Structure 1
Amino acid sequence: MAEFHWHHYSAEESLKKLNVSPAGLSSEEIPERMEKYGRNTLPSAKKLTLFRIILNQFLSPLIYVLLVAAVVSIVLKEYSDAGFIIIVLLINAIIGAFQEWKAEAKASALEQMIKLKVRVKRDGRSFVIDGEDLVPGDIVILESGNKIPADIRIIRENNLTAEEAILTGESLAIDKISEPLEEENIPVAERFNMLFAGTTISTGRGTGLVIATGKDTEIGKIASSLKELSIGKAPLVKRMEKFTKRISTIILIAVILLGVLGYYSGIPIKEIFFFAVAVAVSAIPEGLPIAMTVALSIGASRMAKRNVIIRKLTAVEGLGSCTFIATDKTGTLTVDQQTARAIVLPDKQIFSLTGEGYNGEGKIKDENDSEINFEATNDLRKIISSITICNEGELFKSNSDWSYSGDPIDVALLSIAYKGNSSPKELLQNIEKISEIPFESERQYAAVYYKENGQLKIAYKGAVEKLRPKINEEQYRELLEESVRYAQDGYRIIAVGGGDVDEVKPVDELPEMEFLGFIALIDPLRPQAKPAVEDCYRAGVQVAMITGDHPETALSIAKEIGIAKGPDELISGNELEEIIAGGEDNFREILKTKYVYSRVSPHQKQLIVKALRESGHFIAVTGDGVNDAPALKTANIGVAMGYGTDVAKDTASIILSDNNFASIAAGIEEGRFTYSNLRKIIYLLISTGAAELLSIGMALIAGLPLPFLPVQLLWLNLVTNGIQDVALAFEAGEKKVMTQKPRKPDESIFDPLMIKQTLVSASVISMLAFGLWYHLLNNLNYEESTARNLILLLMVLLQNFHALNARSETRSAFRIPLSNNYILIIGILAAQGIHILALHIPFMQELLSLDPVTGGEWIKLFFTATIILVAMEIFKLFHRKRGDNSN
């Protein structure tokens, strides 16, 4: 079947090919064909089960390290250590699974595109059946508003048009015919005698032959091909893998050095081994997985408030890393609703129209920007009456909602009556329609003969050049030039005619009539789109438009929104095909200067995305149709529209619930905020962990006992510091992130700035802890347990103050409003409060070897701990003066 070019053969030959008569299949044939072709369902992505989502939370290098640490702790009978780690892993899995399950539930709630009812002819009679029960050979009866259930060869049609944007990218309805086409190898978008699964009938009626169902449809082929595509890892995953390897190596080296120092300090080898393992387990930042998951969950929640639904948590940060956005035009940059913007009369008087979309909200304004009604001039009344009479659409207000049906252009024209303080019903009161000429692409016009007060008249709408106007040639030529200017600016021009006639002419013969003017329509830009594009450019993100629309329309919109400056940045699908044939290197070179791609096929869109990725871009791609799915999967970040097809949504990692480009820019900002907060969390955990190891190392070198027990280190990492690092995830974003260049996907988390900060802060903290340890034991002759109790409290206080340092890598802690993160302030107080409670609870005293401290001791330690805040303020001041803001 795949080799048979259905569009090239007549309806009779197509019926013969499938061995079916115009009366339809017989009931006896259905089971056999169902067995041969299968049910009419699309291949769909396997939905994730709750168990699989939970299991995914454990698939991380850092989690693997923690699992190994837990097992080693159990083997060494360090059950408290193992218990701590297992609790961390479970909390992390619960938080992450809940967030992803919630996102998956939102995505899965969308209906399957092909599940619908359809009217068929079988056994010579008409039946309504489930779309899933269709088989090749079925005769389908179609009418306006129907969603197409399968690929169909049109047998008969009457004013049939179809909206095929989800498959071809073409935003306007396509005129359909039943005659065979001459060429065999033509793109899907040009097979005008075919209808395709998932598209919609805009106007008219027809009868068609089902020629492909399920996976054999054009949509099904695309959905099946997605299984062969593989997607790369998110930047965060790559960074965390690199980070985990490095931190594991550093900890291993540190533990070996501590073991060597312990050996030369006279500690028995058996004790050194147990201690080394315990320190290794304790030194791993156990709180990081929870803090990361919380930070990503918060980012996902913040994005959801800005209409960005995250299906996989790592995509939160991934969107913030993108360097290139390839966006659709229709419905993303524009509102996807044809809107009348201007009425131009024969005397070149121009009236503007406000409002947008398929509703009657808005006004008619004259050249002085004054509001007028439809009777302001006789010529204005005539043109509005004519487009209302010659119209097959419907637009009316029910309660507070607008309802519409029919061709989008007809609906947009009907809205003008309402904007002129009238209504189609009022304008049609004394009208008796006599004869109608429906719009066909060959004619390029529609007309209606009607009677008003007994006088025969005509109303015309369509192409300017098809009208026979009663107007002098000079005036007509000037009007044509004006219409061309509008067309070059991306407007669709509808010429309007009318007036008295003597008789009803044959269908293909028009009488002379009065030229009433023309209407300029456009799919208007979303008001937020242009500022959003500007935001992306400021953030170092390049934006390109990939659309199935006409080159002039695409370029006009791109210039208005700021994506392109001129035709040199535009390239069409036909030009792309020639360039692709010239080789990949040449293709990638051409793409460097092109930002508007028009009349692009799904395969070409995928190749563009692939080439941009190979050029080093981290690319986000938007799409709503099945035709977009391969490109969405090839992209680093696939962004599906909320109104789009299930295939697109299943493929994407992000869904825009409002279909608005501005939401992508908002998502980039939130993604950068999230990554910035992740860096803050990692900085806090690693610097305090390094300080603990340095304190232990200095104690061993000085021949002193260990300042911390392994269980105390776990307490610091998981409980006191663990509260603060999670609280850092709630930090409000710093607006400067949208003025910085995107991070390279392979960039390490530990850039030079973080390395310097970590070394300085870890050194200050460790020296303060070791200095007090040395002073308590050697100068004040404290008992080890008493001194250790004070050192642990000092470390908690140091972590409290250091959490304030971590709020920004460059700004002073005193310049960041507390209102940016009240949760952190509460977290710091909670961490300190929990530790003070532990000092007084018998069970915790025994577990952690703690004793209460006096108020005086606490105050001394409090002021000692402020040194870390002062030290890092000096570091940041020095850093700012150098002008080094790489963070």
Structure 2
Amino acid sequence: MKYYDENIPDVEKDLETSLKTGLSNEEAKKRLEKYGENALASKKKRSMVARFFDQFKDFMIIVLIIAAIVSGIVAQEWTDAAIIMIVVLINALLGTFQEAKSEAAIDALKEMSTPSAHVRRNNVILEIPSTEIVPGDVVLLEAGDVIPADMRLTVAKSLKIEESALTGESVPVDKSSETLPDSEVALGDRINMAYANTSVTYGRGEGIVTATGMNTEVGKIATMLNNADETDTPLKRNLNQLGKTLTIMILAICAIVFIVGVLKANPAERNSTLMINMFLVAVSLAVAAIPEGLPAIVTIILALGTQTLAKHKAIVRKLPAVETLGATDIICSDKTGTLTQNQMTVEKVYYNGVVHSEDQEISEDNPALLSMILANDTQIEEGGRLLGDPTETALIQYAFDENIDVQELLQKDKRIQEVPFDSVRKLMSTVNKFGDKYYVAVKGAPDELLKRVTSVEINGQVSPITDEQKQDILAANKDMAQNALRVLGLAYKYVNKPYDDPTTDNVEQDLIFAGLVGMIDPERPEAKAAVAEAKRAGIRTVMITGDHQITAAAIASRLGILQESPDKNKAVITGAELDKLSDDYFIKHVSDYSVYARVSPENKVRIVKAWQANDKIVAMTG
């Protein structure tokens, strides 16, 4: 079931649970037995013996083994037979060793401590291992928690969840407990759901677990990976074809040699001895013609390739993958954290009626900068490490980059009161001691902020804001947004004393507009050069992301990915639009698209298969 389009009481009824008391311990135990542990399953591991015998499945290896048997038994060339078998065994041992070594490295990466979760059971809040979570459990969430399972949110107090690993969303998502009216909502837009393996960055919440283990959204991805078809690499196909061609040619030549040898002999000499001798000659010729060193040479070269890649911190699970990388035609890359830094960064700041770039100097007493720093919940640890919402940490990092002593400023202008952010009014305010007065710092959605603004500061002069100035601010906001920047409005005012009861109705009124700040998860410095280098090598880069269409298109343009498409207006497609295309049409037109936005994991599989249907070697990264 979807659950995001169901009312909370209906979800409670469907899952036979209680928001007030949670499940009983007895019921939780029954459900754990029924649904199993809340953990992802993986493919059954193959033993070393099975891996060893897998190395003998190549056609060339089979030909060599037959050649060794024939050479020894028929031709009595035991030395040749032994040499061939030694080569075959060395080849198998090298392949087995490399695969085992890679698997061990991957297993080491998987070893992580099992996180715990807070659940309500028998009307008591307990901390239990996340593996013991079952459908129907009521889970409590706080900032810093990893979501243990898929759940329908029932409480969302200023709740923000980082979902980039699952959906590609570059910034934390504001969550709500409201029922979604539409029955078909994309994964990234299900704001009343929380998904396993994502994390809470802000606020708190509660939710009813709707799916655990392999039934979660991340579990569906694991299922797809476990069920992915094993495809032969170009090298393996070529070697198999070479083996078949050589075998046919060698057998044909040997047959000709045998027949010619028999026919050339005198009729009187055509006896069984001649037949045996000519057969041995033909067998010897066949054994001599088979390139028994080829598989070993290929294996050694690929093994050397894996060592070279290992020096660059890349793990190669199977040897032929080294060659496949070199034969790649298409690279399908995720955006967030792969092509971009997965770190929000200030790029534009609008104040005094002008847009400034992030590297332009800003004065320490600029009200836009003060509001960025003071209306901010970022925690600054020793060494300057920033903890908190990525949007807020970006503002503090901007201040650091401007050589502002943020910690000293926060000590001097201490926070006295606050009105926390919530997803309804989309604002956050703090009241800070500021000399003999108090400074109210406000930041939030520009359109919501402007509703509460009565004045504007231009070059230190405060005056009533005009409709024309509001239109200029909205135009600057629109321009930033069209360039895929996440925009926040900044405002302030001075008051003579703290509030008796600080609320949005008194704190966030009669504000002075200070500015706008535009942020983006910027491209990695090396990514643009990598895309260009791949293009020079004849490799096309395609972006596949769960992030929004405008953001994806902007980053793709900056990286040069959209230049690959003949028609840039049609080069960007969303997952919803892709779902409407037939497989036949999509396979024929897959080269038209360079950017896929708001896609699901299932869409990614379909995109790769469409390219493969066009005989392209596809690499997926992200």
Same fold (TM over 0.5): yes
What is the match of residue 92 of structure 1?
91
User: What are the Cα deviations for residues 702-760 of structure 1, in whole angstroms up to 9, with x where unaligned?
Assistant: xxxxxxxxxxxxxxxxxxxxxxxxxxxxxxxxxxxxxxxxxxxxxxxxxxxxxxxxxxx
What is the match of residue 478 of structure 1?
472
Deviation at 1:338, TM superposition (A): 0.7
> Aligned equivalents of 2:478 and 2:183: distance in 1?
34
The reply to whether residue 421 of structure 1 matches residue 400 of structure 2 is: no
Classify 1:515/1:303 alpha carbon distance in 2 versus 1 (closer, same or farther; 3 Å). same
Q: Tell me, what secondary structure is at the counterpart of 1:89?
A: helix
Deviation at 1:549, TM superposition (A): 1.7
> Aligned equivalents of 1:576 and 1:25: distance in 2?
41
Residue 373 of structure 2: which of 384, 388, 393 is its match?
A: 388
- Whether the 8 Å CA contact 1:501–1:513 is kept in 2: the answer is no
What is the match of residue 308 of structure 1?
314
Within 5 A, what are the aligned runs for 1:313-328? 313-328=319-334
Counterpart code for 2:546: G
What is the match of residue 490 of structure 1?
484
Is the deviation greater in 387-396 or in 327-336? 387-396
Counterpart code for 1:506: T
What is the match of residue 432 of structure 2?
450
Q: Tell me, what secondary structure is at the counterpart of 1:160?
A: strand
User: What are the Cα deviations for residues 610-630 of structure 1, in whole angstroms up to 9, with x where unaligned?
Assistant: 22222332222223xxxxxxx
Deviation at 1:82, TM superposition (A): 1.7
> Aligned equivalents of 1:195 and 1:539: distance in 2?
42
> Aligned equivalents of 2:419 and 2:82: distance in 1?
81
> Aligned equivalents of 2:254 and 2:342: distance in 1?
62
Deviation at 1:225, TM superposition (A): 4.1
Deviation at 1:461, TM superposition (A): 1.2
What is the match of residue 240 of structure 1?
239
Counterpart code for 2:607: I
- Whether the 8 Å CA contact 1:490–1:552 is kept in 2: the answer is yes
- Whether the 8 Å CA contact 1:24–1:123 is kept in 2: the answer is yes
> Aligned equivalents of 1:106 and 1:546: distance in 2?
28
Residue 569 of structure 1: which of 568, 571, 577 is its match?
A: 571
Within 5 A, what are the aligned runs for 1:423-822? 423-467=405-449, 468-469=452-453, 470-471=455-456, 472-473=465-466, 474-501=468-495, 503=499, 506-507=503-504, 510-565=508-563, 566-578=568-580, 580=581, 583-623=582-622
- Whether the 8 Å CA contact 1:41–1:114 is kept in 2: the answer is no
Is the deviation greater in 583-592 or in 293-302? 583-592
Deviation at 1:246, TM superposition (A): 0.6
Where structure 2 has 5 or more consecutive residues not aligned to the other structure, the ranges are 457-464
Deviation at 1:52, TM superposition (A): 2.6
Classify 1:167/1:508 alpha carbon distance in 2 versus 1 (closer, same or farther; 3 Å). farther
- Whether the 8 Å CA contact 1:23–1:122 is kept in 2: the answer is yes
What is the match of residue 149 of structure 2?
150
Deviation at 1:228, TM superposition (A): 4.5
Counterpart code for 2:397: S
- Whether the 8 Å CA contact 2:188–2:598 is kept in 1: the answer is no
> Aligned equivalents of 1:570 and 1:539: distance in 2?
24
> Aligned equivalents of 2:549 and 2:391: distance in 1?
20
Q: Tell me, what secondary structure is at the counterpart of 2:478?
A: helix
> Aligned equivalents of 1:591 and 1:256: distance in 2?
49
The reply to whether residue 408 of structure 1 matches residue 407 of structure 2 is: no
Q: Tell me, what secondary structure is at the counterpart of 1:135?
A: coil
What is the match of residue 203 of structure 2?
204
> Aligned equivalents of 1:192 and 1:486: distance in 2?
25
Counterpart code for 1:451: K
> Aligned equivalents of 1:110 and 1:519: distance in 2?
39
What is the match of residue 864 of structure 1?
none
- Whether the 8 Å CA contact 1:346–1:515 is kept in 2: the answer is no
Deviation at 1:160, TM superposition (A): 0.9
- Whether the 8 Å CA contact 1:500–1:513 is kept in 2: the answer is no
Residue 46 of structure 1: which of 31, 44, 47 is its match?
A: 44
Residue 340 of structure 1: which of 337, 346, 364 is its match?
A: 346
**Structure with greater helix percent:** 1
Counterpart code for 1:571: I
> Aligned equivalents of 2:385 and 2:108: distance in 1?
25
What is the match of residue 17 of structure 1?
14
Deviation at 1:161, TM superposition (A): 0.8
> Aligned equivalents of 1:330 and 1:403: distance in 2?
21
**Structure with greater strand percent:** 2
Counterpart code for 2:569: P
Counterpart code for 1:596: V
- Whether the 8 Å CA contact 2:147–2:198 is kept in 1: the answer is yes
- Whether the 8 Å CA contact 1:386–1:460 is kept in 2: the answer is yes
Residue 280 of structure 1: which of 281, 286, 289 is its match?
A: 286
Q: Tell me, what secondary structure is at the counterpart of 2:17?
A: coil
User: What are the Cα deviations for residues 117-139 of structure 1, in whole angstroms up to 9, with x where unaligned?
Assistant: 21222233232221111111222
What is the match of residue 168 of structure 1?
167
User: What are the Cα deviations for residues 330-380 of structure 1, in whole angstroms up to 9, with x where unaligned?
Assistant: 111111111112333224262523xxxxxxxxxxx43xxxxx7x53xx32x
What is the match of residue 460 of structure 2?
none
- Whether the 8 Å CA contact 1:144–1:201 is kept in 2: the answer is yes
Classify 1:276/1:591 alpha carbon distance in 2 versus 1 (closer, same or farther; 3 Å). closer
The reply to whether residue 31 of structure 1 matches residue 37 of structure 2 is: no
TM-score, normalisation: structure 2: 0.89
Deviation at 1:7, TM superposition (A): 2.0
> Aligned equivalents of 2:90 and 2:402: distance in 1?
62
Counterpart code for 1:191: R
What is the match of residue 852 of structure 1?
none
Where structure 1 has 5 or more consecutive residues not aligned to the other structure, the ranges are 354-364, 367-371, 624-887
- Whether the 8 Å CA contact 2:345–2:398 is kept in 1: the answer is no
Classify 1:113/1:210 alpha carbon distance in 2 versus 1 (closer, same or farther; 3 Å). farther
Counterpart code for 1:568: K
> Aligned equivalents of 2:11 and 2:193: distance in 1?
12
Classify 1:334/1:349 alpha carbon distance in 2 versus 1 (closer, same or farther; 3 Å). closer
Counterpart code for 2:610: A
Classify 1:489/1:184 alpha carbon distance in 2 versus 1 (closer, same or farther; 3 Å). closer
Counterpart code for 1:323: D
What is the match of residue 253 of structure 1?
252
> Aligned equivalents of 2:64 and 2:162: distance in 1?
54
User: What are the Cα deviations for residues 68-119 of structure 1, in whole angstroms up to 9, with x where unaligned?
Assistant: 1222233234321221111111111122222222222222222268932212
Deviation at 1:244, TM superposition (A): 0.2
User: What are the Cα deviations for residues 114-171 of structure 1, in whole angstroms up to 9, with x where unaligned?
Assistant: 9322122223323222111111122222111211111112222221111112222222
- Whether the 8 Å CA contact 1:42–1:114 is kept in 2: the answer is no
Counterpart code for 2:413: I
Q: Tell me, what secondary structure is at the counterpart of 2:358?
A: strand
> Aligned equivalents of 2:184 and 2:591: distance in 1?
31
> Aligned equivalents of 2:474 and 2:258: distance in 1?
90
Q: Tell me, what secondary structure is at the counterpart of 1:517?
A: strand
> Aligned equivalents of 2:592 and 2:404: distance in 1?
49
User: What are the Cα deviations for residues 469-516 of structure 1, in whole angstroms up to 9, with x where unaligned?
Assistant: 312333343233233222222222122111214656633662122222
- Whether the 8 Å CA contact 1:431–1:451 is kept in 2: the answer is yes
Classify 1:424/1:46 alpha carbon distance in 2 versus 1 (closer, same or farther; 3 Å). farther
Q: Tell me, what secondary structure is at the counterpart of 1:439?
A: coil
Deviation at 1:55, TM superposition (A): 2.0
The reply to whether residue 215 of structure 1 matches residue 214 of structure 2 is: yes
> Aligned equivalents of 2:231 and 2:112: distance in 1?
28
Is the deviation greater in 251-260 or in 403-412? 251-260
- Whether the 8 Å CA contact 2:419–2:502 is kept in 1: the answer is no
Counterpart code for 1:418: F
Deviation at 1:261, TM superposition (A): 4.6
Deviation at 1:236, TM superposition (A): 1.0
Q: Tell me, what secondary structure is at the counterpart of 2:541?
A: strand
- Whether the 8 Å CA contact 1:66–1:286 is kept in 2: the answer is yes
Q: What is the aligned-residue identity percentage?
A: 37
Deviation at 1:518, TM superposition (A): 1.8
